[in-house]
Amino acid sequence: MKDQWVLGTLGLVPKNLLSRAVGAAAHAPFPAPVRRLSVWAFARAYDIDVAEAELPLSAYATVGEFFTRRLRPGARSIDRRPGIAVSPADGRLLNCGRIDGGELIQAKGRRFSLAELLQNRHDAERFAGGCWATVYLSPRDYHRVHHPSEGEVVAARYLPGHLWPVNRAAVENIEDLFCVNERVTTYVQGPLGEVATIMVGATSVGHITLSYDPTLETNRGLAGGPRSYTPGHRVARGDELGTFHLGSTAIVLFANPKVQLEPLEEGQPMRLGQVIARLR
């Protein structure tokens, strides 16, 4: 009941504008003592393992800069065996499974349409019979998303939308949450077939940037729609795909029905680079 009241109240708030304001505050250049205290307090509040960060805490000029930190070299191991796909991010597994009847699971008792998620019926048809995995990134997690498999980035689609939160309460109570929130889908063709990675924005995460296309940023007034890349951008498994400028969700879709998920359990911790699927 409390969760529903909070979500109902949030529904009255202009969430996209709020997200821009939070983003501006997170990147505000406060005086050095305030900056050091705010970064330290953020890391402590969310129990972040600062030893994994690329730089010491004192090197980050703002909370936003620390939030989008890179990992130090060697902090994650990417499985390089052939025919493997890896988790695109740190976080927790929200759910996963075989795409059945053109639908995916959002939460227990809630399903949503893949065609609505991708906003393209033909794209959705290519993934029929494939599988998916959804990873939720909390504020304590590393917030750069990486390519789950190698190949060539051939297309992307930016879909402006709402910025509802994507926490447990929202996932369980907001219908078609991932289909109404702002998101970017990246399509890669490679040895595992077609793989799509969807970065879903959320409240206070109204800004997503892409490593392969720096001209595409969300919640910045850009028109939505598809983009194609000819020639495509070659990427290796584990290469950086994009950045959430606060926490959110990544959904990976596999079109090839011969790709099978590993035994994964809902709610289990996920680490960038761990195996999530393989070609059978």
From 143, 146, 147, 207, active-site residue? 146
Known catalytic residue: 90? yes
From 19, 38, 90, 207, active-site residue? 90
Residue type, 162: H
Nearest CA-CA partner of 63 in 92, 24, 97, 91? 24
From 19, 87, 211, 248, active-site residue? 248
Both tokens of residue 24?
């501006």
Known catalytic residue: 146? yes
* 55: helix, strand or coil: coil
Give the span between the Cα atoms of 105 and 194, in whole angstroms.
21
Both tokens of residue 5?
């009241």
Helices (H) and strands (E) in the chain — how many of each? 8, 16
Known catalytic residue: 87? no
Query: Are the beta carbons of 67 and 94 closer than 8 angstroms?
Result: no
The arrangement of strands across the sheet holding 131-136 comes to 225-235, 151-159, 183-190, 193-200, 249-254, 131-136, 91-98, 269-270
Q: Which residues are catalytic?
A: 90, 146, 248
